[in-house]
Structure 1
Amino acid sequence: MSTTRSKQSVPAPAPATTATTTLVIVAGALILSAAMGIRQTFGLFIGPFSFDRGLPVTLIAFAIALHNLVWGFAQPFAGAAADRYGSAPVVAFGASTFAAGLALSAIAPSGALLVIGMGLLVGIGVSCTTFGVVLPAVGRIASPHKRSVAMGLVSAGGSAGQVLMVPLVQGVRLHAGIATSLFVLAFLMLLIAPLGIVLDRRAQNSAAQAGFADTPPAPLREVLSQATRHRGYRLLTLGFFTCGFQLAFIATHLPEYLTLCHMPIGLGATALALIGLFNMAGSWACGWLGGRYRQHHVLGWLYLIRSATIAAFFALPKSPVSVVIFAAVMGLTWLGTVPLTSGLVAKVFGTRHLGSLFGLCFLSHQIGSFLGAWLGGLVFDLTGSYSLLWVATVAAGLIAALLHFPIDDTVVTTPALRSSGPAQA
């Protein structure tokens, strides 16, 4: 009976044109490229902040780690706001807040202001300009059988920022100092503020065609409560913790680790740029695989590959060649988890509340990011080595793989979660 009523009240979605979908993908990729590319450069500032401003590594790592934690806690609310009000105001607010945090970090004379700028303000800004706001807009406009590929393309395009931002920041910092490089990044964030209009207009038109306009959204508390009772959603959320833990530790501490290993100066920046370059191919490939195979199985294998790569890199002798190989393989598996995870949430629960549901799942990812970045600095200050954290990243990846393989990806039919209309696998 409920199925009949749903079919009568919700018109069939009109397919989006190729031009419309392309516009959304390009806009989403540019937003992600700026936001993700900028935050990926923070590891390059640990040494300069420590030597030039006399700040302890633990404090700098805490500021970087805090933005991950704030990002995680703010993401469900940013996603819910974009679900309800559209992407334009959320992206504009986030880009402005992100830029303010970078500017404050540029002039911060003390550790406390650095924590507020790079930790609190940047964290809020990132939550409004990255996956939890951009990917739901893409997921709503793409057809179900092309959704995973579209999300992979956006994530891949977003990786261009890492390729471009890391050498840009490295060059500006070496020639003009920390403050100038951070002001340049703040200006770039302000440039992407209007792009949310493209996501907003296109996503809302698609939502209206799909019948969202006739279906009032269920209360956020009810939606999240029902999702958290789903075993597969809980396993997915727990596994996503590992992704954040591994990526934040490597992105934040790899440059300093390579310095300790007596690698050439600048190799750390090169490695981060290579990770971004290969992530472009990896994100697209993971989206493509997610459209052809069960997404949680692809995720399980991805975590296994990551753990094997990290273990080999840590155990084997270091050389410029081994660093390049490590960066390339890690790049292929870097953000491929995001289109797979968001695509799996969309497959099981639909797209009506995707921003909220993926946002809550992403909170787990960011708790892992906080711990990966902060514990790296803490363990190094206490022991003078990163060895314990390298071992922890390997173990976490193995656990994540075990959590993902048994996930049930059956489409749910609960009204509050499926208010977007008939289930579409």
Structure 2
Amino acid sequence: MSDIAIPEARVTPRRAWLLLAAAFLTFSIGAAFMHSYTVFLVTFLTVFNWSRAEVSVAYAVSQLVNGLTSPLVGLLVDRLGARRLILIGGCILTTGLLISAHVNALWQVILVYGVVMTIGANCLGLVVFVPFLSRLFTTKRGLAVSVVQSANGFARAFSAPVATMMIAGLGWRGAYLWQGVFMAAVLVPLAASFGNVGKPPPRRRGETVHGEGWTLHQATRTPHFWLLFLVYMFTGLGSFLVALHQLAFAVDIGFDKLYAAYVLGMGAFLSLPGVILTGWVSDYVGRELSAIVTYGTSIIGVICALLIHSPDQHLMLWLHSCFFGLTWGARGPAITAKTADLFPGPNLGAILGVITIGTGLGAGGGSWLAGAVFDWTGSYRVAFWLSILFYVGGSVAFWALRRPPAIRR
């Protein structure tokens, strides 16, 4: 296959929608393997007798590595294109899954899941797809980003019940082994579906950069860049102070593990229409208003969790699952599309990658902090209150992004 990039202007509308579908599927598969750790976490508590903070370290490291490697992924996708990144990332993720079936110590889980698998999954994630999708769907950017972003919630929805059944039937080592086999089987077809679309065409010798959009250096000199960084970080903190430990919280209250996984999975499925609707609406009512509504909905979901005190409160568990699940990732399209709105151009991958460090810091910090808070207090309730606080902070920071920045040359 030729390595000559196909300019987005030559991509037909039908091909553009097929590429969007391929991005959704690829992101779903990679994210599902990473989200299934919430189920493995509960298993590790029993098998290895680790504390909540200890078992949360691998997930926290994963989120930090995800954020810290995003700038590199952004730079690579701007130069190599989606197809090569997916091949590289898929091979790394497959290796990590197969090795995970043989881990015996906490440091091994941290290294394999937190570093190896995370780097692989990041090459199958949002930073790879948003740059070329934002160029393909200039007038429907919010909708396109929301569709691919919804893959994260879709993956989270089905990964918990599927992983629970796999562990019950195959054991946790067998579950990891067969996940690795599946990733190896779908790797090449997934990468091939993108062809050479997604890599910006090379600049001709002597071609001017004037009017081509933002550079990373220019973007970092604006307050908007750092406000977006705070939005990503606060959103990660607010979400992962709850998300990683939802199942453990429900099991601690007294709910059956498989039943709780089913309820939380069904709620997470709502993120599909929630994310897509939010992204589509943001194209018309503005990114800020759309995002603030989702922050408020997530806060309602966290409050419902705070009201659960016994295993007979099935309705409250469903309400928590639905409200929190409905807006899981729903801020993503508005935030990511806002990034593309503010800093368009051929360097969007690098800019988005650096800003995404904020997500890694927030998600990693929130994941570990929730486990540590449980170890300190014997409850997740303080962590849930902190989640609400950070969601409010994210809303304030996002609202401050209403006016676009001017390029400083």
Q: Tell me what 2:371 maps to.
A: 377
Q: Tell me what 1:140 maps to.
A: 135
Q: Distance in 1 between matches of 2:40 and 2:321?
A: 20
- Displacement of 1:231 in angstroms is 1.4
Q: Distance in 1 between matches of 2:157 and 2:117?
A: 20
Q: Distance in 2 between matches of 1:381 and 1:134?
A: 38
Query: Per the alignment, in what secondary structure is the counterpart of residue 20 of structure 1?
Result: helix
1:115-130, aligned counterparts within 5 Å?
Answer: 115-130=110-125
Q: Distance in 1 between matches of 2:85 and 2:263?
A: 32
Deviations 1:134-177 (A, max 9, x none): 222321222x1111111112222454333332222111101111
Q: Tell me what 1:323 maps to.
A: 317
Q: Contact between 2:62 and 2:114, CA under 8 Å: does it hold in 1?
A: yes
Q: Distance in 2 between matches of 1:177 and 1:263?
A: 22
Query: Per the alignment, in what secondary structure is the counterpart of residue 398 of structure 1?
Result: helix
**Identical-pair percentage:** 19
Match status 1:17 vs 2:35: no
Pick one of 157, 160, 168 that aligns with 2:154.
Answer: 160
Pick one of 85, 91, 95 that aligns with 1:96.
Answer: 91
Pick one of 290, 299, 303 that aligns with 2:291.
Answer: 299
TM-score by length of 2: 0.90
Deviations 1:102-131 (A, max 9, x none): 222221111111111111112211221111
Structure 1 pair 275/243, CA: closer, same or farther in 2 (3 Å)? Answer: farther
- Displacement of 1:47 in angstroms is 2.2
TM-score by length of 1: 0.86
Range with bigger deviation, 82-91 or 246-255: 246-255
Deviations 1:13-46 (A, max 9, x none): 7364221112211110011111112211111112
Q: Tell me what 2:381 maps to.
A: 387
Q: Distance in 1 between matches of 2:195 and 2:209?
A: 17
- Displacement of 1:384 in angstroms is 1.5
Q: Contact between 1:38 and 1:162, CA under 8 Å: does it hold in 2?
A: no
Range with bigger deviation, 64-73 or 149-158: 149-158
Pick one of 102, 111, 121 that aligns with 1:107.
Answer: 102
Q: Structure 1 regions of 5+ residues with no counterpart?
A: 1-11, 416-425
Q: Which amino acid aligns with 1:289?
A: V
Q: Which amino acid aligns with 1:266?
A: L
The RMSD of aligned alpha carbons is: 2.4
Q: Contact between 1:282 and 1:332, CA under 8 Å: does it hold in 2?
A: yes
Q: Which amino acid aligns with 1:371?
A: G
Query: Per the alignment, in what secondary structure is the counterpart of residue 123 of structure 2?
Result: helix
Q: Tell me what 2:4 maps to.
A: none
Aligned structure 1 segments of 4 or more residues deviating by more than 4 angstroms: 211-218, 411-415
Q: Distance in 2 between matches of 1:181 and 1:413?
A: 50
Q: Structure 2 regions of 5+ residues with no counterpart?
A: 1-6
Q: Tell me what 1:335 maps to.
A: 329
Q: Contact between 1:83 and 1:353, CA under 8 Å: does it hold in 2?
A: yes
Structure 1 pair 236/275, CA: closer, same or farther in 2 (3 Å)? Answer: farther
Q: Distance in 1 between matches of 2:40 and 2:334?
A: 31
Q: Which amino acid aligns with 1:128?
A: C
Q: Distance in 2 between matches of 1:303 and 1:242?
A: 11
- Displacement of 1:405 in angstroms is 1.0
Match status 1:190 vs 2:184: yes
Q: Distance in 2 between matches of 1:72 and 1:97?
A: 17
Match status 1:287 vs 2:279: yes
- Displacement of 1:192 in angstroms is 4.2
Structure 1 pair 351/334, CA: closer, same or farther in 2 (3 Å)? Answer: farther
Pick one of 169, 172, 178 that aligns with 2:172.
Answer: 178
Aligned residues: 396
Deviations 1:216-252 (A, max 9, x none): 889xxx9333212211221121011122123323231
Q: Distance in 1 between matches of 2:241 and 2:178?
A: 25
